[in-house]
Amino acid sequence: MLDDFLIRAILAGLGVVMATGALGSFVVWRRMAYFGDSTSHAAVLGVALSFAFQAPVYLGTLAVALAMALIVTRLTARGQSADTVLGVLAHSALALGLVAASFVPGLRTGLDAFLFGDILVVSRWDLVWIWGGAALVLGLLIWRWQRLVTASVNEELAMAAGIDPARERLILSLALAVVVAIAIRIVGALLISAMLIIPAAAARGFSATPEQMAGSATLIGAISVLAGLGASLWLGSPAGSSIIAVSAGIYALSLACYRKS
């Protein structure tokens, strides 16, 4: 019989995977890996602000992640280099978050849980946030699927079809912000980007359509969660890191299989 905490951990991991599978595919297609990494680093500032103002952590991280997405979109629309903007904002927000955390009583010692994740302490209320956020992201992607795919494949073709690529980029950025907010307790701010990228990258080699890649990435993510939690309990290793390690192993295996074919 599985313990209560383990069931919650499995449900939390699978809830995040429901969103990261499809969204991670767009991150890979549009080469937005650095954006996801920057948004997750900025979420540390949201954690510090949440503790400082005694607000729910998910609200603080979501607010900062959304602000990050909107600021980056605004600055890049003005002609600023996306890499430069992301680098400045990500490192600045991370530094401010660490500085702010040092002034919040009790947070400095507990910050590791938000940097590297602590899926085994997820509560029932956390599950509500995680599954609610995942459903929101998944519903948004399904609603905008064809437009997002067209804009990702060819922006000129998208414009000819009456699709605004900038709007679709903004939608993906906002969806990324939501995923960062719900995943920070699972794999931590430093590993969220890996949860998005690695399953999608592993699925890319043997997927013929965008839908197949999104589905395969979700399946790989689910396997990573289950196997990673099992490895964590068996080896005593950190749960979030174990999930990413399993995902990386699947990616390496997919490369070997792809080369043989």
Q: Is 13 helix (H, G, I), strand (E, B) or coil?
A: helix
State the distance between the two ends of the chain, measured CA to CA, in whole angstroms: 41
The CA-atom distances, in angstroms, between 172 and each of 29, 55, 168, 188 are: 12, 26, 6, 20
Helix axes 210-235, 192-204, angle to 10 degrees: 130
Q: What is the DSSP string of 120-173?
A: GG--HHHHHHHHHHHHHHHHHHHHTHHHHHHHHH-HHHHHHTT--HHHHHHHHH
- pLDDT computed for residue 203 by the predictor: 92
- pLDDT computed for residue 152 by the predictor: 85
Domains and CATH numbers, the chain: 4-189 (1.10.3470.10)
Phi-psi region at 195: left, alpha or beta (left = phi > 0; alpha = psi -120 to 50): alpha
Of 133, 117, 135, the residue nearest 125 (C-alpha): 133
Residue for token digits 């295996």? 253
Q: How distant is the alpha carbon of residue 35 from its chain centre?
A: 10
- pLDDT computed for residue 121 by the predictor: 84
Provide the Cα torsion 172, 94, 47, 198; round to 10°: 50
pLDDT tens per residue across all 261 residues of the chain? 456 888 899 999 999 999 999 999 998 888 777 777 778 878 888 888 888 888 888 888 888 888 888 888 788 777 777 778 877 887 888 888 888 878 877 666 567 777 777 888 888 888 999 999 999 999 999 999 999 999 888 888 888 888 888 888 888 888 988 898 888 878 887 788 889 999 999 998 788 899 999 999 999 999 999 999 999 988 888 888 899 999 999 999 988 776 554
